[in-house]
Amino acid sequence: MTDLPPFLVALPLVASVVVLFAGLARSETGWPIATLAGLAQLGLAATLAYRVFTAGPISYVVGGYEAFYGIELVIDGLSASVVVLIAAVSLGVLAYARTAGPRGNPFYATYLLLVGGLTGVAVTGDVFNMYVFIEISGLTAYALVASGDTGRSAVAALKYLIVGTVGASLYLLGVGYAYIGTGTLNMADLSAMLAEVGYQSTLVQTAFAFIAIGLFIKTAVFPLHTWQPEAYAGSPDSVSGFISALVSTTFAYALIRISLSVFTPDFFAAVDLAQTLLIVGAVVSIVAGSLLAVSQTEIKRMLAYSSVSQFGLVLAGLAVLNQTAMIGATVHLLGHAVMKGGLFLAAGVIATATGAREVHEYEGLSERMPYAAGVFAVLAFSMVGVPPTVGFVGKWYIAVGAVEAQLWPLAAIILASTLLTLAYFARLVERMYFREPAAADDHVEGESAEPQPDAVVADGGRPSLGMYAAVLVAAALAVTLGAAVVPFAELLEPTLDLLLS
Amino acid sequence: MTEIYSLRPLAAVLVSAIAVVPILLSGRRPNLRESWTVLAALAKFGIIASMVPGVLSGTVYATRLGTFLPGVEFTLRADPLGLLFALLASLLWIITSFYSMGYMRGLDEHAQTRYFAAFAASVASAVGVAFASNLFVLFVFYELLTVATYPLVTHDETDPARAAGRKYLAYTFGGGVAVFAGAVLVYWLTGGVAFTPGGIADLANADPMIARLAFALLAGGFGVKAALMPLHSWLPDAMVAPTPVSGLLHAVAVVKSGVFGIARVVLDIYGPGLVGELGMGTILAAVAAFTLVVASVIALRQDNLKRRLAFSTVSQLSYIVLGLAVGAVAVGSPGNASAYALVGGLLHIPAHAFMKLTLFFCAGALHVETHTDDISNMAGIGRRMPVTMGAFAVAAAGMAGIPLVAGFVSKYFLLIGSVSAGGTTYAVALLVSGVLNIAYFWPVVYTAFFESPTERDPKPLVEGPLGGRFGAAASKLRSDGGPATERSGSSWDLQSDGGPATEGSGSSSDLRSDGGEPEDGDSEAEQDDHGFAADHEGQGIQDTVEAVEQLDEDHGEDDRLDWEHRRWTGEESTWLMLGPICFAAAGSVVLGIVPDLAVFLRIVRLIVAGATGVTI
């Protein structure tokens, strides 16, 4: 028993308030405090993860109120991985955001609040408590998207707000149905009581449908993704890097958690339709997301649609419902966060230095920015799934899992997703390396004559060391994490055994 | 067979991978940069060659790098089959490095640093493919090879080059996905993907339908790089790359990695016996036989030399695949048919490599020195480039299977194998293809040595319209009113008559400057085309004009136009190019005369003994 779990959530929340009030006394204090809090959070997360992986799951009853009224925090291998990811990525984005902006203490306060909310989603063991944290994360994410200070960010944030709230409300409806059926909100209790009520009960099935669809919206599964491309493309680069890496990831985690811990694989065995829902969502997302990504002209929108497709892959790993595929889903969940966050930040570095935000503006980029172009290419190829990168390993496990479960059409789509991903990244790489910059002068003149109102250009114009460092670390991790997957899978196995039993 | 833990296989892969860094860093000093390439090439060959005696005496060197996936070790193993491919690739990389210097500097190419770096990375991946100890490691390096060679295909940065690059990525990653799917299936069936001489035992007990599906996926996936029809079409387009790339990668390293993959699948995953039992050997043999005949027929009509060589590669690669497939079908036939076919197929890997490298190097030398790329413009060129065309003649003879050159030995084994296995169809296909080989190589040699620009025989096969008389009528209808005769009639006649010479060349250069230049402007117009032609017709008028510029009235008899005469002592070009050409040609002769002395045949025998238990 340890008292650390509540601090995981409390630390960023308290730090957020500190940042806000420190800003009243002195501006420019946001970044140092946020970084300190981030470091502490990472240390805390690593300590807890170490304990979880060596000594098994930790649960903590908040305030000593046992269930049925109290709230329980549960950290097992899966949630510990996500918590470490959140802490690490938020620290990396802080390194980037220092010069890239947005500046000011309110931004850092919101940022920390989001970190707290996401961590809360990851560690809670109570479905209603999870709703609270989903709302905290959602609201702060809307605010961060709007921090771009342009008309485009505001519209994107409004759209995100409306669609995102619908998603959260659907989730809450689902929780309500489950509560009516069972009279409890604790995940562990729910899973037992739902089985007692009977999986064929309409109440239970409706609860699952509402929760799944709500989280589909939050995760941006096609066709419920409509908020996402604008939210990513319209927000400042630091923010799009952060939310693309963490927000959808955490909500996908929430879906996995609810599906496996609350409804359990038995539910899926009893209700074919539920598994079909997941599989169809996965397949449609993979295919449609890639096709939409190919047709984009703006880099960040393309990356956003790529996320739609990649989360389809994660969903596929969940839908297969066996251990191999779940390892794959977890690896891809974490790996995608690193790769996609890195790609958004790399796009930000490139845009800061050259103003290039469109696909055609990347022509001949390798000569102007060899390092940024190189990092972008490495991340792109690892997203495609070129071995031995982490993008490949995740896909391997999911594919092997799908074959083991003999879900042939799903396996075919998973494999074909490599080519679909290649379709939109290869054209970028080709433009960066094998095309002359198409009359670069014209573009510069064009932009200075008619500055794009929507473009969120950081001041400065020269990427800082921190910006480069964040991007380089992401690329290095994308390449090397692949080798760490086997030991990680061994650590994860006890958790998954428990979840899938 | 003893297995020794050694760092040598890893070192062999890494030495050129690490060399990429100093090559990139010394981009501003070409001589330093090239010395890194040469140093890495020599070191790589030294490391690989040092393992040959051990492997021949039954030792296998292995580097273990830990577990990558459950049940799948990331291990590099230098077993006989891997060593065959690695030794070949690293030996030929040395001479290709020298040739590249002569070629790239001779054409004053752009982005040479990227070129040499990508080249080193490609060879590292190719050796990784060779030393892979299981299907998974093989797949890793197979994909890396695709990525590393992509910059070489698109080297020119022109529209055709980018199109070829896109096609290359689409085809080979498509193949990669199929290999991946096949590997997943094998993994699912047997719980492992490690190469085992004679095949993975569990696979024989698995569901035959799924085993067949996995085999089809694997063979089809590797078949993309092995250019099995109908998956070959990326290869002629990839000829847009600089010629050393076409030589080493698109005749040796890349395409052979596909063939090598098929060899691994047949010999070390399924085992020849099981492939035959599943009935997949017959299908594979049929595809290979079809490819080797049809590609030869297509090669007949190519006027552009590099395209003709590309289709020749497509055809010759299928000899290897045919050897493997017949070897699988013939397991259990009398007279060691299976072993003979396997020896023939595998020996064709080095044999074809030496010969085709010679041919590509010759094509590149012709291009650098005379800018002549279409065979129809090569009349009499033997006087200008005697050593080059001499080497070309030797290698071409070997391709056709004429004794004393490498191609004969492998085809001999292949033929014995097919005949004693009762595979008459395959034997006939082999013989027909041999005749076709002569039919498409002899005209090149003939025109180079026995014709002159002013006196040429008609070449109905190349120049005649497709579809014979009816085709001619159709094409007349199409080009009605146009100067059809002027275009097809050679411009030499016009010039030697003294009459409308200026008009002829003037109008053609107009054509070129009007239509030939891309819209982007100067940068692309100055690009070298590396002898690439986009279609079967060759480069046409553009190449004719470039060839005419080389001709001079002072050299022919009676003041007729002719090539400048140069002596056999190497004044035709730089020794940076002639040396590699002579080395490769000599290599193919050595393989043909004393195959047992050349180490390749001994390695091949060892492989076959390991896979079938029969020693020849």
Q: Is B578 exposed, middle or buried (0-12, 13-18, 19+ CB in 10 A)?
A: buried
Backbone angles phi, psi at B550, to 5 degrees: -85, -15
pLDDT of the residue at B508: 39
pLDDT of the residue at A454: 41
The more confident residue out of B365 and A140 is A140
Distance (Å) from the alpha carbon of B221 to chain A's nearest alpha carbon:
13
* CB pairs A-B closer than 8 Å: 77
B contact test, residue of A382, A434, A441 with most B CBs within 10 A: A434
Q: Which whole number is the average pLDDT over A99-105?
A: 80
Contact between chains at B185 and A403 (C-beta distance less than 8 A): yes
- Please state, in angstroms and rounded to a whole number, the distance separating the CA atoms of residues B91 and B102: 18
Chain B CB contacts of A416 below 8 Å: 177
pLDDT of the residue at A84: 93
How does pLDDT run across B387-429, given as a tens digit for each residue?
Answer: 888 888 888 888 888 888 888 888 888 888 888 877 788 888 8
pLDDT of the residue at A339: 92
Q: How many CB atoms lie within 10 A of CB A27?
A: 11
Q: Cα angle at A249 between A245 and A250, to 5 degrees? A: 120
Cα–Cα nearest to A288, from A275, A306, A272, A270? A306
**What H or E segment, with its residue span, contains residue B4?**
strand B2-5
What is the number of alpha carbons within 13 Å of residue A259 lying toward its C-beta?
30
How far is C-alpha B258 from the chain's CA centre?
11
Chain A CB contacts of B170 below 8 Å: 419, 422
Cα–Cα nearest to B351, from B407, B394, B404, B270? B407
How does pLDDT run across B480-507, given as a tens digit for each residue?
Answer: 444 444 444 444 443 444 434 333 343 3
Q: A140: which 2 tokens?
A: 């702060």
pLDDT of the residue at A282: 92
From its phi and psi, is residue A103 left (phi > 0), alpha (psi between -120 and 50) or beta? beta
How does pLDDT run across B512-565, given as a tens digit for each residue?
Answer: 333 333 334 344 445 677 777 777 666 777 777 776 776 766 655 566 666 777
- Please tell me the least confidently modeled range out of A29-33, A299-303, B280-284, B554-558: B554-558
How does pLDDT run across A310-364, given as a tens digit for each residue?
Answer: 999 999 999 988 888 999 999 999 999 999 999 999 998 888 888 888 888 888 8
- Select the residue of B165, B166, B173 nearest A418 (Cβ to Cβ): B173
Q: How confident is the model at residue B475 (pLDDT cuts 50, 70, 90)?
A: low
Distance (Å) from the alpha carbon of B187 to chain A's nearest alpha carbon:
8
How does pLDDT run across A122-163, given as a tens digit for each residue?
Answer: 999 889 999 999 999 999 999 999 888 788 889 999 999 999
Cα–Cα nearest to B316, from B346, B285, B339, B295? B295
Q: A278: which 2 tokens?
A: 């997941």
Contact status, residue B359 vs residue B311, Cβ threshold 8 Å:
no
Contact status, residue A479 vs residue A389, Cβ threshold 8 Å:
yes
In eight-state DSSP terms, residue B465 is P
pLDDT of the residue at B466: 65
- Please state, in angstroms and rounded to a whole number, the distance separating the CA atoms of residues B237 and B173: 16
Q: Residue B460 pLDDT more than 80?
A: no
Contact status, residue A174 vs residue A210, Cβ threshold 8 Å:
yes
pLDDT of the residue at B512: 38
Contact status, residue B546 vs residue B381, Cβ threshold 8 Å:
no
| Chain A residues within 8 angstroms (CB to CB) of chain B | 381, 384, 386-388, 393, 396-397, 399-400, 403-404, 411-412, 415-416, 418-419, 422, 426-427, 430, 433-436, 482-483, 485-486, 489
SS3 of residue A266 by DSSP: helix
How does pLDDT run across A231-283, given as a tens digit for each residue?
Answer: 998 888 889 999 999 999 999 999 999 999 898 888 888 888 888 999 999 99
Distance (Å) from the alpha carbon of B121 to chain A's nearest alpha carbon:
15
Q: How confident is the model at residue B276 (pLDDT cuts 50, 70, 90)?
A: confident
| Chain B residues within 8 angstroms (CB to CB) of chain A | 66-70, 139-140, 143-144, 147, 151, 154, 157, 161-162, 165-166, 169-170, 173-174, 176-177, 180-181, 184-185, 187-188, 520, 523
Q: Residue A165 pLDDT more than 90?
A: yes
pLDDT of the residue at B497: 42
Return the domain boundaries, chain A: 271-276+283-439+463-501
B contact test, residue of A360, A383, A396 with most B CBs within 10 A: A396
pLDDT of the residue at B570: 67
- Please state, in angstroms and rounded to a whole number, the distance separating the CA atoms of residues B317 and B321: 7
Strands B2-5 and B59-69 come out as parallel
Q: Cα angle at B219 between B213 and B220, to 5 degrees? A: 85
What does pLDDT average to over chain B?
A: 79
- Please tell me the least confidently modeled range out of A89-98, A484-493, B145-154, B524-533: B524-533
What percent of chain A is predicted at pLDDT more than 90? 35
Q: What separation in angstroms does the CA of B563 have from each of B364, B443, B501, B539, B547?
A: 18, 18, 17, 20, 9
Q: Is the complex ipTM higher than 0.90?
A: no
SS3 of residue A60 by DSSP: strand
- Please state, in angstroms and rounded to a whole number, the distance separating the CA atoms of residues B508 and B494: 12
Q: Cα angle at A306 between A263 and B163, to 5 degrees? A: 145
- Please state, in angstroms and rounded to a whole number, the distance separating the CA atoms of residues A250 and B70: 27
Per-position DSSP letters for B71-100, written without gaps between them: TEEEEEEE-HHHHHHHHHHHHHHHHHHHHH
How does pLDDT run across B224-234, given as a tens digit for each residue?
Answer: 988 888 888 88
Contact between chains at A411 and B181 (C-beta distance less than 8 A): yes
